[in-house]
Amino acid sequence: MSIVGKKFPSVAVNAIDELGDTFKLNVFQHAVDKKKKIVLFWYPKDFTFVCPTEIHAFQEAAAEFEKRNTLVIGASCDTAEVHFAWLSTAKDNGGIEGVKFPLLADSTRRLAEELDILDYDQYDDESTGDNVPYRATYLIDEDGTVFHESINHMPLGRNVGEYLRLVDAYTHVQQHGEVCPANWEEGKDAMKADRNSTAEYLSKH
């Protein structure tokens, strides 16, 4: 069930930073307390193939997200210890050394289960606990409300630039009360939420 327009679940989860420090992180509370937007992206598993390409792509875009008052947080169901081992592995060896944003270690799967993003069909026996999350992405505003969610299947890596565009669009809506048409980007025309504005926009484009 979609949680767009709803508050993100208020669940504290183990997390780790690039220094190896572990702590509890409640994504909802973090957004509210810091008064920042958050892009939370889930990936299936540490030490895999597509996952490090996405994690490095989010790291490369982290400064652009920060310019937009947005924090980046990664998440999987691996333990904090496994996260740190991967954070300590060089990029040219398939690792994620150099990644600075925190990683959730939802090893109990409490948050992943609440979000209903686990792929039980990947494994024959659910009781093994090896079920892993899809590539789910959540954009959360300063009040802890989800304004975007998407879920990719395992083989499909994300386009990080699209999340920057969505943050720009949502910020424009917040600041100007306008709506953003298809393929809108920062600096392009937006519209008022009425039929006349739509007709005028379509006539120009």
The catalytic residues are 51
Which residues are bridge partners to 168 per DSSP? none
Is residue 39 helix, strand or coil? strand
| Token reading at 99 | 């990644």
The pair phi, psi for residue 127, each rounded to 5°, is -70, -15
For residue 142, CA distances in Å to 6, 7, 13, 86, 147 come to: 13, 11, 19, 30, 11
Q: Are strands 12-16 and 22-26 parallel, antiparallel or unpaired?
A: antiparallel
SS3 label, residue 168: helix
Q: Are 180 and 172 in contact (CB under 8 A)?
A: yes
